[in-house]
């Protein structure tokens, strides 16, 4: 386990009566890709702003790279790259000039700044358009320019707020690869999103936010275990007498629910991977097993199920 890059303790932010973030305890280890999930208004962006020292917490403590963002904002901001949602640039200036401004604000020496800018532009595939005004850039190019800007600092931690929102599938896929390449460089990444399948694709761990609280935290399989309980959906295609097969599947240890979907397609919900046991049971019961497989739970399922429970919880 690496050392902690982000650590918050009972972090709270109130806007008047509205509690935007409520007693948040978050810890992110070095080299990890952590996803903050949650519906709009669940406190994701407020949390990020507090990590950067752009908003003062009402109470609680924050440590980013061992520093206090409220007290040592310059050190924190020199080491942490931040790309806001809907990142904006000076449209009439070229990509390169936009980056030069940022390099100057970071007090990089001229030669070093030049080197890093070329490097970042090349890495983000923007080298050929570097001297065009940002006005002409597509949304995906702007996001990549945003990452290029973040890379100028050689950050230890990168915070991306809704990085793939509004991108076409191709652009989003490309962007996820960028996030993976950041991880390969040993950079810790914190990203917020409500696009679950994308978060699932890149994140090591996720935290589910709801009304300012982090209600769930862990890797996707862990969350599935917690929320869906029966995390594994085993499906089988079997020919044979329905009742016997159904009964045989129901007898399996760990099976929680058996449903028949089509005339010969069954689904077993279980707490573990029951493929081998299910196959044996079906064959022993006299069925002809045609095919079977297991569906790993998606974050969408977890998310939907969690909020379903929350709503039921509040209704009763």
Site residues, other proteins (CB under 8 A): 9, 15, 45-46, 49, 52, 54-55, 61, 68, 71-75, 77-78, 80-84, 86-91, 101-102, 104-107, 146, 149
Nearer to other proteins, 11 or 87 (CB): 87
Nearer to other proteins, 77 or 144 (CB): 77
Q: Are 258 and 268 in contact (CB under 8 A)?
A: yes
Residues, the chain: 316
Nearer to other proteins, 49 or 282 (CB): 49
Nearer to other proteins, 32 or 149 (CB): 149
Least distance from other proteins to the Cβ atom of residue 157, Å: 12
Least distance from other proteins to the Cβ atom of residue 163, Å: 14
Least distance from other proteins to the Cβ atom of residue 134, Å: 10
Residue 309 to residue 292: CA distance in whole angstroms: 30
Residue 312 to residue 163: CA distance in whole angstroms: 32
Least distance from other proteins to the Cβ atom of residue 220, Å: 26
Strands 27-29 and 4-15: antiparallel
Nearer to other proteins, 55 or 225 (CB): 55
Q: Are 43 and 209 in contact (CB under 8 A)?
A: yes
Nearer to other proteins, 126 or 234 (CB): 126
Least distance from other proteins to the Cβ atom of residue 153, Å: 8
């Amino acid at each position: 386990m690496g050392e902690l890059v982000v650590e918050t303790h009972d972090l709270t932010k109130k806007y008047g009566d509205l509690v935007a973030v409520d007693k948040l305890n978050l810890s992110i280890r070095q080299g990890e890709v952590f996803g903050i999930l949650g519906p709009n208004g669940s406190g994701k962006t407020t949390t990020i702003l507090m990590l950067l020292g752009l908003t003062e917490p009402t109470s609680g403590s924050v440590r980013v790279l061992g520093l206090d963002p409220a007290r040592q904002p310059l050190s924190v901001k020199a080491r942490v790259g931040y790309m806001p949602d809907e990142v904006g640039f000076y449209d009439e200036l070229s990509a390169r000039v936009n980056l030069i401004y940022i390099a100057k604000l970071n007090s990089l020496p001229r030669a070093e700044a030049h080197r890093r800018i070329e490097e970042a532009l090349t890495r983000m595939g923007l080298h050929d358009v570097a001297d065009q005004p940002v006005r002409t850039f597509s949304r995906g190019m702007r996001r990549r320019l945003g990452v290029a800007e973040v890379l100028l600092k050689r950050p230890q931690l990168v915070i991306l707020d809704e990085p793939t929102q509004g991108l076409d599938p191709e652009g989003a896929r490309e962007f996820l690869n960028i996030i993976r390449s950041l991880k390969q460089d040993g950079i810790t990444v914190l990203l917020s999103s409500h696009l679950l399948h994308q978060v699932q694709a890149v994140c090591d761990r996720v935290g589910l936010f709801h009304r300012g609280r982090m209600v769930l935290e862990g890797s996707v399989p862990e969350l599935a275990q917690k929320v869906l309980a029966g995390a594994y959906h085993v499906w089988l295609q079997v020919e044979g007498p329905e009742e016997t097969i159904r009964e045989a599947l129901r007898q399996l240890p760990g099976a929680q629910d058996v449903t028949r979907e089509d005339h010969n397609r069954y689904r077993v919900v279980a707490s573990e991977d029951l493929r081998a046991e299910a196959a044996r049971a079906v064959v022993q019961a006299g069925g002809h097993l045609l095919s079977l497989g297991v569906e790993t739970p998606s974050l969408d399922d977890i998310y939907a199920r969690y909020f379903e429970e929350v709503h039921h919880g509040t209704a009763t």
